[in-house]
Amino acid sequence: MSTALLSCQGVTAGYGSLTVVRDFTLEAEGGSVVAVLGPNGAGKTTLMLALAGLLPRLEGEVRVGGQPLPSGRPTTANDAGLVLIPDDRALFTTLTVRDNIAAAVRKGDVPTDEVQEMFPALAERWQTKAGALSGGEQQMLAVARAMVQRPKVLLIDEMSMGLAPVTVERLLPVVRTLADRTGAVVVLVEQHVQLAMEVADQVMVMVHGRVALTGSSADLAKEPSRLEAAYLGETAGASA
Domain ranges of the chain: 30-56+70-81+151-240, 91-150
What's this model's pTM, rounded to 2 decimal places?
A: 0.91
Question: For the segment 124-182, what is each residue's pLDDT rounded down to a tens digit?
Answer: 999 999 999 999 999 999 999 999 999 999 999 988 888 888 888 888 899 999 999 99
Contact between 185 and 206 (Cβ < 8 Å): no
Task: Give me the pLDDT at residue 199, please.
Answer: 94
From the options 2.40.50.100, 3.40.50.300, 3.40.367.20, 3.80.30.20, give the CATH code of 30-56+70-81+151-240: 3.40.50.300
Burial 107-131 (b: 16+ CB within 10 A, else e): eeeebeeebbebbeebeebeeebbe
Residue 61 near residue 2 (C-beta atoms within 8 A): no
Residue 238 has pLDDT above 80, yes or no: no
* Coil vs helix vs strand at 183: coil
Average pLDDT over residues 105-128: 90
As a whole number, the mean pLDDT across the chain is 91
